[in-house]
Chain A
Amino acid sequence: MSRRPYTPKMTYGWWLDRPFYTRYMIRELSSAFVTAYSGLLIIGLWRLAEGEAAWNGYVSALSHPAALVFQGVALLFALYHTVTWFAVTPRTTPVIVGEDFLPPQPVIIAQYAAWIFASAVIIGAALWF
């Protein structure tokens, strides 16, 4: 007459158990790349402030094949992060319009629209100057 509840251990590879978890972990990992790339941009600003020679050194360092590979990978992770984040945003900020919730699609579409608009402005500005 004795209870002896068995507590299963969570394995280190738990995030490989289901594709859903794996996708989540990739999203978590993507944050590291987004953060690292942000750091790279901040370093660029710092170099710019130090003068032309520093800036040119920075630009040439970015052209190194290893740096290019990093930027490519960081771009993919940033895209993954953005797309998955846009998909869940309607859950975090439900909006009631009239008597009912706004369905998720308009919220998602609005985010993409804002994204495309912001990108267009930046690219346009870069080409203009």
Chain B
Amino acid sequence: MDVLQTDVVIVGAGGAGLRAAIAVAEADPALSVTLISKVYPMRSHTVAAEGGAAGVIKENDSLENHFNDTIGGSDWLADQDAVEFFVEQAPKELTRLEHWGCPWSRDPDGRVAVRPFGGMKIERTWFAADKSGFHILHTLFQTSMKYPSIKRLDEYYTTDLLLEDGRAVGVLSHEMRSGKPVVVLGKAVILCTGGAGRVFPFTTNGAIKTGDGMAMAYRAGVPLQDMEFVQYHPTGLPGTGILISEAARGEGGILVNKDGYRYLQDYGMGPADPWPRKKAMELGPRDRLSQSFWQEQQKGRTIQSKWGDVVHLDLRHLGEKKINERLPFIRDLAKSYVGVDVVTAPIPVRPVIHYTMGGIASDITAGTPLPGLFCAGETACVSINGANRLGSNSLAELLVFGKVAGEAAARLARSVPAPSEASALAQAKAHRARAEALVDGSRGTEAVATIRRDMMATMESGCGIYRTQEGLEQTCTTLRDLRRRYRDVKISDRSWVFNTDLTQALELGAMLEIAETMALSALLRTESRGAHQRLDHPQRDDAGFLTHSMAWRQGDEPPRIDYKPVTITKSQPAARVYGGAAS
């Protein structure tokens, strides 16, 4: 088996991974970086982010405002030291990206423009029309090419972390186009592998978002934190789940039910006018908006469409000029996928799975409980997002903590010796044997597609916008059964050249474990907070649950869940206030 010795190993080449790689290269050009990704960097899902990235830059704003919005948005589950650091660093990172060529939209005077976003008291979201993630990703990717110390392994699928004396010392990957395994050893490992929205059937997430890195860390004994908090974005296209950016509401779009009524005023977001108004109505936080849809649906006030129940997102009053300038992608997507020209008709939308607030337990240093292992981006739970992430904080987060992770890994790499090959190779061979058994000797009977479909179905039925004990118990039972069936998974493809049957099977293995942490953490959190809403426990319970849940893997058994206190520095838990009371 080939062994590659490097200083810093990074898995995942989306926004966070690329930012981390550049940080290492800038910290010390003598350090070698190996950046591994299962797709070419520009395919990473950062590409699909639309609305923008939050960072305080305008004179009418302050870091304290951004801090308070984020903490309130998180329903006080975010760690306040991390949020304070995050809001300080975000503007610097966004400016740095500007220097690297990101085509941010501009004010008439040539300065960077900002737009309002949900749950934010003041407009502070930097944007590049409505393809902000696309431009951030491509800017980072193109910039990364100028650093000779960054060596990429594109389309290498990473299956396992390798350990030595309780430290992360590398990974086992295989080149997808040949199937050839490679052990990549380093003095530090950074996971930037994104979220796991694909455990649900209806999601904005691309096919690649299968939580591989979360599962890798989890299997290596690292806890997954706050996994019950999964964000529904309130406005996805029905049928496909394609994201219709919050920017559509930031620019003034409104949501109406079948009576043409702006129903959000019935759920603590009103009054409806004056409009637009920050932190009110359509500019409320995503959890509240998605929950309001569900409530409207219960009342029979949503709109019946051929794709099921929807509400209407109306942008007509913005006018064609503004729509073309600020929301051209939205116009294109709506036209292509639901046949609606947003200039002349409202868009049918419904809530859709969008983001995993939870992830690998991490902190302000981007470190994890496993020495030598760092993480950043959606795969990490720092946590700056707590129980509900505010729109436009995630793009800023992957920059801020991508850089932190890269710099921390660089520091570590300069201070520890290179790991030995023998122990890592032995582990790698054991891991590799499982993949080889799947491809060369599989006699399984359970189709990947069937188990995956059943997993998605049970996650949607039990782990959706509103949850109950009964539903969650059912989902936990089903997932346990699916994990058992997965042990008999069938791979029909016997080739080692670009075997996507194998890739999908490995991804499914990761997703099943992640789904189980989500469902069990949700079952045990007998309160309602942010994106986790229990019909049988409708109140927030600060005495019992102002804590991060930590899921620890227990082999084939369901995870053990314990709890870690939330870091509170200057903002004591209070009621979340939106609408008229917020202004």
Contacts and interface: CB of A to CB of B under 8 A. Distances in A.
A3 interface: yes
Nearest to B498: A3
B101 to A, nearest CB: 20
What's the interface size class on A, roughly?
Answer: under 10
A1 interface: yes
Nearest to A3: B178
B interface: dominant SS: loop
Contacts of B180: 1
Nearest to B439: A1
A106 B3 CA distance: 62
A2 interface: yes
Contacts of A3: 177-178, 497
A110 B178 CA distance: 56
Interface residues of B, number: 6
Interface in A1-59: 1-4
Contacts of B497: 1-4
B496 interface: yes
A36 B540 CA distance: 86
B179 interface: yes
B189 to A, nearest CB: 27
A109 to B, nearest CB: 24
A10 B80 CA distance: 62
A38 to B, nearest CB: 45
A2 B179 CA distance: 8
A3 B497 CA distance: 6
A110 to B, nearest CB: 26
A19 B547 CA distance: 66
Contacts of B496: 1-2
Contacts of A4: 497
A2 B180 CA distance: 9
Nearest to B497: A3
A4 B178 CA distance: 9
A97 B497 CA distance: 53
B502 to A, nearest CB: 12
Contacts of B177: 3
Interface in B176-196: 177-180
Nearest to B496: A1
B410 to A, nearest CB: 35
Nearest to A1: B496
Contacts of A1: 178-180, 496-497
A4 B495 CA distance: 12
A44 to B, nearest CB: 54
B494 to A, nearest CB: 11
A28 to B, nearest CB: 34
A1 B502 CA distance: 14
A1 B178 CA distance: 6
A98 to B, nearest CB: 13
A103 to B, nearest CB: 14
B152 to A, nearest CB: 19
A35 to B, nearest CB: 42
B424 to A, nearest CB: 22
Nearest to B177: A3
Interface string A79-98: 00000000000000000000
B45 to A, nearest CB: 27
Interface string B461-497: 0000000000000000000000000000000000011
Nearest to B179: A1
12 contacts: A1-B178, A1-B179, A1-B180, A1-B496, A1-B497, A2-B178, A2-B496, A2-B497, A3-B177, A3-B178, A3-B497, A4-B497
Interface of B: 177-180, 496-497
Given A1-B179, A1-B180, A4-B497, 9 more contacts: A1-B178, A1-B496, A1-B497, A2-B178, A2-B496, A2-B497, A3-B177, A3-B178, A3-B497
The 8 closest A-B pairs by CB, nearest first: A1-B496, A3-B178, A1-B179, A3-B497, A3-B177, A1-B178, A1-B180, A2-B178
